[in-house]
Each structure stands twice: as C-alpha cells, then as structure tokens.
Structure 1
C-alpha cells in the first residue's frame, strides 16, 4: 500500500492525490462584484456548510499552483465583504465549467457563461437565476492558509437569505434531493451526478450491540461485507433460542441443512442467505439464520 509524506511531494502531485481522494466535493458558484460594480462569477469545490446556527458556509479560493496568483473572487470578497453562493446542478455543468476559465478581471462571467443575473435582496452581488438554491452571504472573515501556490484562503460567510426554486421544495419541507440533481467534483476532470441510482438512504443508527459483539465466525466471514457487519452490529438485541429453532423450519433453511453437513460449507451457505436478507433490510431474520450455525453461539 503506497504511503506518502506530504512534504516529500511536489505541490502539483500532492494536489492531485488530495483532490482525487476527497470527494465528491460540492460546488459553490460564487458571484461577487469589484469596486466598480462589475460582477464576477467563478466555481469552487473547496466548499461546504459548517454551521446552521449561525448559518455559516466556507469556501476557499486557493492560490493557483501554477504561478501562485490569487483570484478575483478572493479580492472582491475581502474588499466588498459580500458574496452569493449559488448551488450547481446537472443542468448548469457546462456553463459553470465555462465560467471557471481565466478571463481578465474586467470580464463579466455571467455574460460569457450565458447565466442570468438576478438582483439580490440583502447584498449587492447578483445571484444566478438558473441555480436551484442561492445563498446571499456576508463575509465574516478570510483566513489565509499560506503564501505559496496551492494555499487556501478560507472565506467564512454568514448566510443572510436563502432563495430556492419552487420545484426543489419537497412535500415534507426541506429540499427534494432528486429534484435538485446536484453535481460534485472529483479528481482531475471527473465530476459526479447525485441523482437516480446514485442516491440511497441510510437510517440513523440506534445504540446497537456493535460489531465487537458479533461472534468471530460471523465477523471473519468471507461472504459478509463491512456494510453487512454494520447492519448486524446495529441490532439492539439478538433473537432467542426459540426464534432460531423456528427459523430452522423454513423450507429453504431445511433444504440447506440437508444439503450441507455441519461445518464451513454450511456456514458459508447460511451466510449467503443472511446476506440476501440484509440486502432487504431484514436484520433480525439474518441474525436468526446466522445463529443456526453452532460456532456462532
């Protein structure tokens, strides 16, 4: 397994590894204005929400690795203390990508990208009409992480107003993740689309028995994955002996026990059955099957 000391890597190589490893990263399409009121628009994937009370986001316009120059967004944010962070969905990908080109400071990327300016309500920089969610922000602080190429500049922003498109509001309140159709950045030129089969839900855990309490013959299974063990460890109690004995009467289990003598082959066959039950969310049923194997008790 290759390992690296960051100090021994060239900045460009360290940059590639870190950006490839940490992702998907959400994208902030940041609109600002300069001292003359000229809008600037540029995307940043060093970005996230860090607090809901106070509502705070941070994005980072890093110094360019190539020549250690800084970006117009950073200059504008430091001087004007106002930004709009526009969320990026799949329909905006190519226009957002175009806005990331290094146009001269006096060029309005709204015009170059074809995105539509909409006046903000609390601050001066405009927001992007096509964005499903726009966040008007005041810049509370800018923290420089260094003076060399690749160094970040944390722009800490407090959200003043949230604008959401009608079609992304869910019936239960909040936002509909399918309707949002968000995208994120990976390493190199790779992006990812958060929709369709890429989306799944994970229930909030209860205080379960934990993986450490799973019998070794199950924990060391060659069939069950870490995800399977996580589900088993989330159980708050194990089935009793009576429930396990009743499970042996299931037709498929009876046939399995006739086909395999007690030992490794039977254990693996039971693990295969349990795995399918776990895939369907039937954790207690999976436990009953697993505990039929005497080595697990």
Structure 2
C-alpha cells in the first residue's frame, strides 16, 4: 500500500506519523515566564539528536482546538530556557494531569502533586520526582508552520535519581530505570523487556557465512 501522505489533511498525517514512529520517549517540559510563573507540559514528538554538545529535539504543537501557542512554546521563545524530564512508570499519572488544559489561574504542577526544585544553570525549575532531568538552553526554534515549532536545545546540566547511574558502565541502569513510551492516542508502553544484538565486524560476518548465515537463522 502506498500513501500520498502530503495529500491528507493534517489530522490524518498526524495519526499516521504518530502511530508508526513508536514508541516515543516523553518529554515533560518545565518553563518559566514573568506572566505565568512555572509551567509543565508533556510532549512525545521528542528525542536525543547528538552529543558535543548534547542536543535534544522537541516538536512543540499548539493548543488543540484553539490553535493558540502553548505556554511552553511562548516561554521558550521568550526566555530560551527549559528543563526536559523523562517520564517513568511512577511519574506517568502526574504527566497525564499536566496534559490537561487548565485555566491560566490553575497550576498543573500543583494539581499533579509535583514538587519543583531550583535548577543549576537555567531559570525554570526541575521536577523532583522525575528520574532524569535535562536543563536546556535553546539552540534554534524552527517554525515548520504556525502550529508546529521544532526546538533544539543544548543540555547544560543533567540530574539523575540516586541509584540509576551505573558508575562502571557509564550507562543508566535499565533494571532500575523504567521509562514509559508513547504509542498513539491513549496508548503507552512499558520498557521492561530488553534484548541484545551485537553488530559484528565485517570480517566476522563474512566468516560466519554472511547473507547465507543470516537468512538461515
């Protein structure tokens, strides 16, 4: 089946993209402004894009229905600073509360029962309950259209929950870190099942039979 995705309306394009590029990590982003104070909102068009410097990318969308920019987008535009938190199983319910369109006078952070603590290098505060937090400064914001802004952020400081960082390997311990992933619609997934694959050297691949060995497995 071949789909002319550019001929579809934006809602159908979104459904196709969001239901095929899965699972996606979830960025629970805190920002700050003089007008509204601290804000938190989740985004699943998100991933890491490289190192030296460490870079994160987030697809910021507008408010569904109204078409207005979200506070997150406005605040990053104005201040250039934000904190990205990864969402684990324990934080999932609070993240979902932060997705509610509360009126301006209601704090989604308070309603979700979350606690903020000062960041080290940026003005927006970080969520204490998050397993991982990345303090970021904006590198660029690309306005793909008036409803979608792709933002690149440089990670300037990282916070990790005690016990998650494996000093020997330099990795986060997968047996203690249980992030959730976004599928599409109301669907999310856990990440508790892991498997390993090692990429062999070309010579070793040839010695093992190459294509024939791979096809026989």
Normalising by structure 1, we get a TM-score of 0.67
1:116-265 maps to which residues of 2 (within 5 A)? 116-147=115-146, 151-172=147-168, 173-195=170-192, 198-207=193-202, 208-209=205-206, 214-215=211-212, 229=215
Moved more, 183-192 or 64-73: 64-73
1:1-12 maps to which residues of 2 (within 5 A)? 1=1, 3-12=2-11
Q: Residues 183 and 189 of structure 2 are in contact (CA less than 8 Å); yes or no, is this contact kept in structure 1?
A: yes
In 2, Cα distance between equivalents of 1:99 and 1:19 = 20
In 1, Cα distance between equivalents of 2:23 and 2:208 = 28
- Report how far residue 7 of structure 1 moved: 2.6
| Structure 1 outlier segments of 4+, above 6 Å | none
1:26-78 per-position Cα deviation (integer Å, ceiling 9, x unaligned): 11110001223610000111111111111111112113453422211000011
- Report how far residue 158 of structure 1 moved: 0.8
**Structure 2: stretches of 5+ with no match in the other structure:** none
Match of 1:32 in 2: 31
SS in 1 for 2:137: strand
Question: What RMSD over aligned residues (CA atoms) do the two structures have, in Å?
Answer: 2.1
Q: Residues 12 and 65 of structure 1 are in contact (CA less than 8 Å); yes or no, is this contact kept in structure 2?
A: no
Match of 2:111 in 1: 112
* Bigger fraction of residues in strand: 2
Pair 1:76–1:112, CA change in 2 (3 A): same
- Report how far residue 101 of structure 1 moved: 0.6
Q: Residues 137 and 158 of structure 1 are in contact (CA less than 8 Å); yes or no, is this contact kept in structure 2?
A: yes
1:139-187 per-position Cα deviation (integer Å, ceiling 9, x unaligned): 122111012xxx4211111111111111211242321122110111011
* Bigger fraction of residues in helix: 1
Q: Residues 116 and 130 of structure 1 are in contact (CA less than 8 Å); yes or no, is this contact kept in structure 2?
A: yes
- Report how far residue 112 of structure 1 moved: 1.2
Bigger-Rg structure (1/2): 1
**Structure 1: stretches of 5+ with no match in the other structure:** 219-227, 233-274, 276-297
In 2, Cα distance between equivalents of 1:210 and 1:146 = 51
Q: Residues 85 and 130 of structure 2 are in contact (CA less than 8 Å); yes or no, is this contact kept in structure 1?
A: yes
